[in-house]
Amino acid sequence: MKKNILYLAIFVLPIFSNLSAQNIDYDYSIIKANIEFLADDLLEGREAASRSEKIASLFIAKELQKYGIQPFGDDGSYFQQVPLQTKSYSPESSLVIENDDDKSVLNLGEDLIRISRGTPSKKYWEQNTDLVFGGFGITAEEYNYDDYAELDLKGKTVVLALGEPHSEREDFFEGEKDTDYSRSAYKIKNAQKKGAVGVLFLPSERVLSFWDRYKSWTMGKSFALVKEEGNSTESDNLPSFAISKNALEYLFEGEEVSFAELDELLKQNISPAGFEINKKVTFHLIQESKIVNARNVVGILNGTDEKLKDEYVTVGAHYDHVGTAESGEDKVYNGADDNASGTVAVLESARTLAEAKNNRRPVVFVFHTAEEKGLLGAEYFTNNSKIIDQVIANINMDMVGRENVDSIYNIGSYKLSTQFGDLIKKVNEETVKFNFDYRFDAPDDPNRFYSRSDHYHYAKRGIPIVFFFDWMKEDYHKLTDEVAKINFTKIKKVSLLTHNIVLNVANLDEKPVVDHAIE
């Protein structure tokens, strides 16, 4: 009995109590059981709108109910329905590269992979075009640089290298740091602005290393939120693909520069010049589309102060992952760290906060769907929740169960509110004592993690956020992200930290002051 009282007491102490990490009982049996279920092969990778996502959402809802967290979704349920439009390519889709003598057929998934989330507009599905190589596909007036200065792209498909010109000078493409010009999304938009009707990319080493994952993504479904009736307009996306090395060798055979020569230039950090290609490409794209339903799981722990009942603290994580592989003995992307770890950390925070029952403001727990499809669940929640304008903070956990048990990446806590960032720092110092790493808050962070998880849709509305993240790279989006590699103690520490952050924010007399501009 004494142990239970001591265990509960750690949650109600104020942050100035000098509570040390050594005083905390790291019993993680519930966390372990929850993550073993969510990351089991039977959950089939928890892909958005799938049967396995429904099973995962039912499990999360039942856990919330068990803890005493009330439903806060649609019609008094734990679920907020998220209608999505899926688009997929028929396996019969292909590209044909041809010259006067012969042709080469590039099959989707094998020689051809999707490089961006957007799917091409119907007007581009069937077309025969000339080809041109466009270097990096960059037009940067501030650096007096234009790959297209001597090229005509109108009505043509442009072949581009990923990346940007090599530089060791800070005044030229910011030296060794990657700029926005290196992004494939920029290159596609710039090519379209110049009149191109298709883009083909030379694959980088990173793309080649993830070719099987890109193949699965290419042959799978793309997801988007269903547009409101009356506001549905066809996108104007160009078809954009990366093509295999074998296909590139054929494409540049007999041309001004061979693929081997281009590859060598890029390896030597020499920017290749553009030139016309004496071949044509025919796009033969077949797409299918339908409406499916995914769902967020939403619960609420009501507050104790009637005066603060209309201000909310939100705690969230995405519970979806990327499904299954097409072939192989192990086909399930279990997503133990990404993001069963964050999901169970939120569940554990919900459980302990419900036990304590000393939050003045209400706390809303949101388990987002379709994060892996472009942060769609979070976008839908922030666009459609009736309480969103009364949310005063968001705590997001996405991958918190790997790497060093004593450190965590703290992303975004100072982006909008100095007070919020200071509060989180203080809570950490007085509880679990993580070594906070703030490196990904840098404006020139090439990883752009600040905009790559669910918290971003809250931040865009001026809501102070913090994103806890472990930067596990070894098994990221791989079949090897499994429970055996999870550090349960770290998840427990994250949930304890979150518990105390929530209490401190929920019990402030005034909501955190936003003193920085929205990025």
Give dist(CA 310, CA 439) in Å, integer: 35
Kindly report the length of the chain.
519
**pLDDT for residue 8:** 39
Give dist(CA 482, CA 477) in Å, integer: 11
Question: Cβ–Cβ contacts within 10 Å for residue 237, how many?
Answer: 16
**pLDDT for residue 7:** 40
Q: Where are the domains of the chain?
A: 2-85+290-506, 91-285
**pLDDT for residue 220:** 82
**pLDDT for residue 23:** 45
Give dist(CA 455, CA 263) in Å, integer: 39
Give dist(CA 136, CA 166) in Å, integer: 11
pLDDT tens string for the chain (519 positions)? 334 433 433 443 444 333 334 445 567 899 999 999 999 999 999 999 999 999 999 999 999 999 999 999 999 999 999 999 998 888 889 999 998 888 999 998 889 998 877 778 888 999 999 999 999 999 999 999 999 999 999 999 999 999 999 888 888 888 777 888 999 999 999 999 999 999 999 998 888 888 887 887 788 888 999 976 534 445 678 999 999 999 999 999 999 999 999 999 999 999 999 999 999 999 999 988 999 999 999 999 999 999 999 999 999 999 999 999 877 788 999 999 999 999 999 999 999 999 999 999 999 999 999 999 999 999 999 999 999 999 999 999 999 999 999 999 999 999 999 999 999 999 999 999 999 999 999 988 889 999 999 999 999 999 999 999 999 999 999 999 999 999 999 999 999 999 999 999 999 999 999 999 998
Give dist(CA 335, CA 239) in Å, integer: 30
Residue 32's contacts (CB-CB under 8 Å, 6 or more residues apart) are 488
Residue 4's contacts (CB-CB under 8 Å, 6 or more residues apart) are none
Whether the domain at 2-85+290-506 and the domain at 91-285 fall into the same CATH topology: no
**pLDDT for residue 519:** 86
How open is the CA angle 141-143-144, to the nearest 5 degrees? 60
Global confidence as pTM: 0.81
**pLDDT for residue 167:** 84
How open is the CA angle 46-52-56, to the nearest 5 degrees? 75
How open is the CA angle 23-27-29, to the nearest 5 degrees? 170
Which CATH number is 91-285 given?
3.50.30.30
**pLDDT for residue 211:** 85
Topology at the third CATH level for domain 2-85+290-506: Aminopeptidase (3.40.630)
